[in-house]
A and B are shown apart, each in its own frame.
Chain A
Amino acid sequence: DSGVTQTPKHLITATGQRVTLRCSPRSGDLSVYWYQQSLDQGLQFLIQYYNGEERAKGNILERFSAQQFPDLHSELNLSSLELGDSALYFCASTGAGRPQETQYFGPGTRLLVL
């Protein structure tokens, strides 16, 4: 158990809908990273937050947005969902968001868009 929690574990929805994925970092960690993993592929970095502020952006679609709240949990919002958005979404956390820190991953949220 990495100490990073993600809810829900599974999500099934229809095209055009909007969903929210939630992540709670490890106790004491200030930085959260979001990744998308499509079927049997490597991870694609979406976005990073540090202490409530957006720090870095990767290949995140305009239909996707995220935020980190004062209690440090983070939410990833996916809207106008398409079939291709079906994937496993991970969040990871580190203490200070520095590159030498190991990223510890949550169990992921499996999203299926029908």
Chain B
Amino acid sequence: AQTVTQSQPEMSVQEAETVTLSCTYDTSESNYYLFWYKQPPSRQMILVIRQEAYKQQNATENRFSVNFQKAAKSFSLKISDSQLGDTAMYFCAFMKPESMDSNYQLIWGAGTKLIIKP
């Protein structure tokens, strides 16, 4: 069974600094999908960035980028020029590829609480 591990329960950085959140996963699949979701204090679950495993190029969305290391099964999120509004829980999630059982549930990490200090 697939698992997702986020080893940093909480992180804190100063505004404008760069921060990297780690995520590792375990799977025997060769193709799959990885996601970072953000959950601010409002508790809304918001997609930050996604990566398809067959793509070698790391995904980027403005200040957010990932370091996808397929062999190491690592999928870290880098936030550049951090802002107060980035304060949130960040969840890493895994989705397996299409299969006969059609069971497409996201497998979630436990989350990292990120605090951006002014």
CA distance A59 to B62 in the complex (A): 36
**With an 8 A cutoff between CB atoms, is B116 at the interface?**
no
Q: Report chain B residues within 8 Å CB of A104.
A: 47
Range for the number of chain A residues in contact with chain B = 20 to 34
When the two chains form their complex, are residues B98 and A98 in contact, meaning their CB atoms are under 8 A apart?
yes
Range for the number of chain B residues in contact with chain A = 20 to 34
Q: Report chain B residues within 8 Å CB of A2.
A: 44, 46
Q: Report chain B residues within 8 Å CB of A42.
A: 91, 108-111
When the two chains form their complex, are residues A97 and B104 in contact, meaning their CB atoms are under 8 A apart?
yes
Q: A42-B111, A43-B108, A48-B105 are in contact. Are A99 and B33 (CB under 8 A)?
A: yes
Q: Report chain B residues within 8 Å CB of A45.
A: 105-106
When the two chains form their complex, are residues A88 and B47 in contact, meaning their CB atoms are under 8 A apart?
no
Q: Report chain B residues within 8 Å CB of A100.
A: 33, 52, 95, 98
Q: Report chain A residues within 8 Å CB of B102.
A: 55-56, 97
CA distance A99 to B96 in the complex (A): 7
Q: Report chain B residues within 8 Å CB of A90.
A: 45
When the two chains form their complex, are residues A58 and B105 in contact, meaning their CB atoms are under 8 A apart?
yes
CA distance A3 to B96 in the complex (A): 25
Q: Report chain B residues within 8 Å CB of A35.
A: 106
Q: Report chain B residues within 8 Å CB of A44.
A: 108
Residues 31-71 of B, flagged 1 when their CB comes within 8 A of A and 0 if not, give 01101010000111111001010000000000000000000
Q: Closest residue of chain A to B4, judged by CB?
A: A42
CA distance A92 to B96 in the complex (A): 17
CA distance A45 to B107 in the complex (A): 8
CA distance A110 to B80 in the complex (A): 32
Residues 80-114 of A, flagged 1 when their CB comes within 8 A of B and 0 if not, give 00000000101010000111101111011010000
Q: B91: shortest Cβ distance to chain A, in Å?
A: 6
Interface residues of A (CB under 8 A from B): 2, 33, 35, 40-45, 48, 55-56, 58, 88, 90, 92, 97-100, 102-105, 107-108, 110
Task: Give the 3 A-B CB pairs with smallest separation, nearest first.
Answer: A45-B105, A42-B108, A105-B45
